[in-house]
Amino acid sequence: MDENVKNQLDQLGDIIDAKLEKAHGQAVESATGKADDALKGEIKNLTQKFTERMDAIEVSNKKRFDASQREDKSFGGNLTKAIKEGALDSMRNGSNRSSMFDIKADMTVAADFTGDVIPPQRIPGYKFDPTTPQNLRQLIPIGSTNSDVVRYVKESAYSNGGAAKAEGATLGQTDFDMTAVDANVRKIGTYLRISDEMLHDTPQISSYLSARVPAKLMEVEDDQILGGNGSAPNLNGFYNSGTNFDVSASGKFYESVTAANEFDVLVAAINQLEINNYKADYILLNPTDFHKILLLKDTTNNYLKDQVYQGLQPNFLGVPIAVNNEVNPGTFLVGNFGQAAQLWVRDNVSVEFFTEDGTNVRDGFVTVRVMERVALATYLPKAIIDGTFSTAKAAITP
């Protein structure tokens, strides 16, 4: 407290004490035992002034405390304060050639915490980009086999001798040619090596690998189902076992098409399929081609998709669309895949862990093998129509 303020309060207190003593004397001498009213009024006024003075001192002290709390805590602010308080005086007056003083800075996490002082919150599991939402094996029937070869008999050719005949005339002969076809079981697989410590010390790593690696294997299977060339060790995929888009099979209806686009091509492919008495159950497209078709507009700038796309399941003319990244960009497949082909499984996808592999025992590693053995039989090539959009558009443009 300021000395001058303290002296003033002391003087005010002395006056109040004197008045109280005088009032006590008056009360003793008075017959009623009470002090004079005027004297009591003076004491009341002095007491009120004393209280007001104390309140003012309390408010003043609070302001000074708040100001000190708002004091600049930065390095520059503390340095300026230290100099003002005489930190360099010894150098200025020549008594010392150097000066040293402490600058106390606030503690911060970045400056004062080293290492994992505040433990981070750990999110369980592993984060990764999604895999193909719909694999091609989901579009065709799946069977199981105990052999390494799946053999089936297919009609390879026929001649229809049926005709209207007059009474007594000889009927024409019909011939069907049958051919036995083999679909060989092929192996698709991969492996990886992880340390024994990683397998045992990393939570959920085995379940993560058991889900993640087979999903990637399914992408390879999709590629084989679509584009396998049939030569060992490849499957005979749809591009090589189906039927090429052929506009001549559709008659001359396409002569009315002008400025042919991708949607026109799909209509012509569906027509080619139905000429062979098949009803399309799926259209396979690359995602880029699918979304390109959604952007097609008519001559009045209206989107064609408004007429051919509806519901949560995308479809063109009622035929569901299956989008898959393994479909070659710029190509299409339209077919009745449920009738056309079947995937035969000899050994389904398996995930196995081995320690007895190579130098694993010495090196402390574990080998993870993911493998399947399957065969693809394309029974009815005419039930799958495939082609490229650029070639097909040119073909249907008069």
What are the residues facing 332 on neighbouring strands? 285, 387
Q: DSSP assignment, residue 15?
A: H
DSSP 326: T
Walking along the chain (398 residues) 10 residues at a time, the average pLDDT comes out as: 62 64 57 56 67 68 57 58 63 58 65 75 78 91 96 83 85 84 95 89 82 91 96 95 85 71 92 94 96 86 69 81 95 97 95 90 92 96 96 87
Strand partners, 367: 193, 354
Q: The whole model's pTM is what? A: 0.68
| pLDDT recorded at residue 33 | 47
Q: Which residues of 38-49 are buried (b: 16+ CB within 10 A; e: fewer)?
A: ebeebbeebeee
Strands 319-323 and 282-285, by their bridges, are parallel
Q: What is the per-residue pLDDT for 203?
A: 80
Report yes or no: 48 and 65 within 8 Å, Cβ to Cβ: no
Specify the DSSP class assigned to residue 119.
P
Exposed, middle or buried: residue 155 (CB in 10 Å: 0-12, 13-18, 19+)?
A: exposed
Q: Please report which residue ranges of the chain form alpha helices under DSSP H.
A: 3-29, 37-69, 75-84, 89-92, 109-112, 196-201, 205-227, 238-241, 262-275, 287-294, 305-308, 337-340, 360-363, 389-395
Q: What's the confidence (pLDDT) of residue 258?
A: 79
pLDDT at 253: 63
